[in-house]
Amino acid sequence: MIKQTLCALPIALALAGTASASKAPEDILDELAAKTSSSYLTQSPQNRMMMPDNPAYLVVEDGEKLFKQKRGPKNASLEQCDFGKGPGVLKGAYVELPRYFPDTGKVMDLESRLVHCMKTLQGFTNDDPAIKKRHGSDSDMMLLQSYIATQSNGMAWNPPLNHPLEKAMRNAGEVMFYRRSGTMDFNCATCHKVDGGRIRASVLPNIKKPEEWTKAISWPAYRTSQDNVRSSQHRVLECLWQMRYPNIKADSDAQIALISFWTDAARGQPAMLPDLKR
């Protein structure tokens, strides 16, 4: 019964308007894999088989309810939040983040913009659990991010680089990506600039191959090894932790710079949202 329900969810969500493209994430993956000889895209037949039953769809469904719910000290929903395409417009917004927002004077990614709206529209503070708890499928952050991001499924990554700060953040992220530091003298490129590189049994994506990189950065995604949906900021945090760097601060310029660079590297490729990863 549970499997039947999960299998029906992608169809139900699409009919309800929560999916932004007709192609399911697994179909996008199949098309990309067919165009390349990538061992990264084809390394896990088991994960591919699970994608239609992705538990993240349940998180997306709950996230939609939370997005539209009036709550917080101001008793307001998030339906007037502007993610870059106008108040309440979610379709295609995620693939055009990070971007510069005039109302804050900053370049913001999905997570930092969501926090901004929860504070300004709903009246939450950094100490409220709705904002303070950043990780886990049951957190408000992951429920909301999963719903918002999924509205851009199948659309091409296209973060704007028109504003000087957008260019500066993207370029700073590139410097960080290639700069060696930390106790192990690693950089991001150590793992992500070669074909068929591995950590143990896992094949790693090559940033120079956009077809691979789009899957690598398609977060939020359900991680089978962690039994949770994870965000882009969580992925950056975890990568840096594995490289033995100090923990990166949520919503910091460093976080957003890395995400700006990695999103630009996947420019033009279709996003798979929500994805399912090992």
Q: How far is CA 104 from CA 89, 119, 192, 261, in A?
A: 19, 13, 33, 21
Q: What percent of the chain has pLDDT over 70?
A: 92
Do 151 and 94 contact (CB within 8 A), yes or no? yes
d(CA 134, CA 139): 6
Do 95 and 271 contact (CB within 8 A), yes or no? yes
The residue that leads in pLDDT, 17 or 88, is 88
Nearest to 140 by CA among 220, 59, 219: 59
Domain with 22, as residue range(s), is: 2-277
CB atoms within 10 A of CB 138: 12
User: What pLDDT does residue 12 have?
Assistant: 40
Task: Name residue 188's amino acid.
Answer: C
Q: What residues are paired with 214 via a beta bridge? A: none
Across the chain, mean pLDDT equals 92
Long-range (24+ apart) CB contacts under 8 A made by 25-29 are: 25/51, 25/54, 25/153, 25/218, 25/272, 25/273, 25/274, 25/275, 25/276, 26/51, 26/52, 28/153, 28/154, 28/270, 28/272, 29/215, 29/272
- Does residue 20 surpass a pLDDT of 70? no
Tell me the pTM.
Answer: 0.91
Q: Enumerate the H helices of the chain as residue ranges.
A: 2-16, 25-35, 45-50, 56-68, 110-120, 129-132, 140-150, 164-178, 189-192, 210-216, 232-242, 253-265
- Does residue 106 surpass a pLDDT of 80? yes
User: Could you report the per-residue pLDDT of 107-142, keeping only the tens digit for each?
Assistant: 999 999 999 999 999 999 999 999 999 999 999 999
User: What pLDDT does residue 216 have?
Assistant: 97
d(CA 145, CA 128): 17
Do 192 and 246 contact (CB within 8 A), yes or no? no
User: What pLDDT does residue 22 have?
Assistant: 77
Give the pair of three-digit tokens for residue 12. 């139900």
- Does residue 7 surpass a pLDDT of 70? no
CATH number of residue 260's parent domain? 1.10.760.10
Average pLDDT over residues 10-24: 50
Catalytic residues: 239
User: Could you report the per-residue pLDDT of 242-274, keeping only the tens digit for each?
Assistant: 898 989 999 999 999 999 999 999 999 999 999
User: Could you report the per-residue pLDDT of 54-77, keeping only the tens digit for each?
Assistant: 999 999 999 999 999 999 999 999
User: What pLDDT does residue 19 have?
Assistant: 40
d(CA 215, CA 72): 35
Domain count, the chain: 1
User: Could you report the per-residue pLDDT of 167-194, keeping only the tens digit for each?
Assistant: 999 999 999 999 998 888 999 999 999 8
User: What pLDDT does residue 196 have?
Assistant: 87
